[in-house]
Amino acid sequence: MVYNDRLIRALRKQEVDRLPVWYMRQAGRYDPDYRKIKEKYSLLEICRQPELAAEITMMPVRKLGVDAAILYSDIMNPVASLGVEFDIVKNIGPVIEQPIRTLADIERLKPIDVHKDLSHILETIAILDKELDVPLITFAGAPFTIASYLIEGRPSKSYIHTKAMMYGEPEAWFKLMDKLGDMVIAYLRTHVENGGKAFQLFDSWVGALAPSDFQRYVLPTITRIFAELRDLDVPKIYFPGVSSGELLPTLTDITAEAVGLDWRVSITEGRRRTGGKFAMQGNLDPYILTAPMEVIKQRAKEIIDDGISAPGFVFNLGHGLFPEASLDKLRELTEFVHEYSAEAILHQPTSRA
């Protein structure tokens, strides 16, 4: 078994013979086999069965030929260990019966105990570490994004309660950021100890903030998370989510190897805004996958040409896959990225990616 380490190499800005590719939300409802499993079990029930969760994690690797696996789990899983009850409701997302709204609610949150409460996740990671011939990416939700679910109680468009706490009760807000920061640090550390080969911090909704508010209310915790995990010898990815282009210039001091971009900012522009410090990951608009294959390939080609113009690029989508995506198109796209990027890298004057 030849281990495919292109993802790790690209995240470290080392040379690769072709681009690595994986897709956010690559395990999911676009796959009929996954839908069949979901008829029997909920997401949370699957996560409690490590053999099954590992199997689902491996399905897109086999079916699509991607260069990385991403752990089948959800960003909400670790909050169970803090004492928060939640459910993942079909077509809605995370729902919390008793949202967190006051300083007293925040003070009641327990410190995470991964080994006691989340051993099933560590077991899944350990199984995958034995089975996979591509790197396993593990992940956590970033504090703002997790806080938005805890405070709103469900997905939100305005983040009204979240922002009310952030602007109106800074003491409560910063205590929550501290506690969620501690949670993320402890959780991701155990992932790497059990076989995770890279991790991504998903800050899916933080693009809702102005850069100055992001810097004041959120970035210190993001900076601390990466600083405290710096000793772990795995590449670390920060994904500041959708509509986060204006936040990019504020990220230059975080000690991550890579930053994920949504589709609104080109790869070269993403590099420019972050001072060339990070490997870039992204950023095909997932909804381009609704177009005919030649349109998809043309857009992918433009992203690849842009991506390989400097070292450190991983092909991905600009956000997660949606349930109506087509397995066949994804397979063809993956093959296209591999073949086209291999040619392009070979014929590059300075031959590097």
- Binding residue numbers for substrate: 25-29, 74, 149, 204, 319
- The total number of residues written for the chain in this structure: 353
Residue 74 within binding range of ligand CP3, rule CB under 6 A: yes
For residue 314, the cross-strand partners are: 281
Q: Of 62, 92, 96, 64, which Cα lies nearest the Cα of 82?
A: 96
Stretch that binds ligand CP3, among 19-27, 78-86, 211-219, 301-309 (CB under 6 A): 19-27
CB nearer to ligand CP3: pick between 209 and 345:
209
Among 10, 19, 27, 248, binds ligand CP3 (CB under 6 A): 27
Stretch that binds ligand CP3, among 67-75, 270-278, 287-295, 343-351 (CB under 6 A): 67-75
Residue 318 within binding range of ligand CP3, rule CB under 6 A: no
Min CB(344)–ligand CP3 separation in Å = 27
Among 86, 159, 173, 202, binds ligand CP3 (CB under 6 A): 202
CB nearer to ligand CP3: pick between 184 and 345:
184
Question: What is the end-to-end Cα distance of the chain in Å, rounded?
Answer: 25
Residue 38 within binding range of ligand CP3, rule CB under 6 A: yes
Query: SS3 of 197, please?
Result: coil
Could you tell me the two tokens for 300? Answer: 């992918």
Q: What is the rounded radius of gyration, in angstroms, for the C-alpha atoms of the chain?
A: 19
Among 72, 144, 214, 263, binds ligand CP3 (CB under 6 A): 72
Could you tell me the two tokens for 286? Answer: 């997932």
8 A C-beta contact, residue 261 and residue 312:
no
Give the Cα-Cα-Cα angle 209, 210, 216 (nearest 5 degrees): 85
Residue 31 within binding range of ligand CP3, rule CB under 6 A: no
Residue 112 within binding range of ligand CP3, rule CB under 6 A: no
Among 5, 12, 14, 29, binds ligand CP3 (CB under 6 A): 29
Distance between CA atoms of residues 56 and 46, nearest Å: 9
Residue 70 within binding range of ligand CP3, rule CB under 6 A: yes
Min CB(225)–ligand CP3 separation in Å = 16
What are the start-end ranges of the H helices in the chain?
6-11, 32-40, 43-47, 50-64, 103-107, 114-117, 119-131, 143-152, 160-168, 170-193, 211-217, 219-228, 267-273, 293-307, 327-346
Stretch that binds ligand CP3, among 7-15, 73-81, 161-169, 299-307 (CB under 6 A): 73-81
Min CB(17)–ligand CP3 separation in Å = 26
Distance between CA atoms of residues 58 and 74, nearest Å: 16
Min CB(256)–ligand CP3 separation in Å = 16
Binding mask 205-244 for ligand CP3 (x = CB under 6 A): ----------------------------------------
Among 11, 21, 26, 109, binds ligand CP3 (CB under 6 A): 26
Residue 159 within binding range of ligand CP3, rule CB under 6 A: no
For residue 316, the cross-strand partners are: 283
Q: Which residues have a Cβ under 8 Å from the Cβ of 146 and sit 6 or more positions away?
A: 75, 76, 79, 180, 183
Distance between CA atoms of residues 73 and 131, nearest Å: 17
Binding site for ligand CP3 (CB under 6 A): 24-29, 38, 43, 70, 72-75, 88, 90-91, 93-94, 139, 155, 202, 204, 320
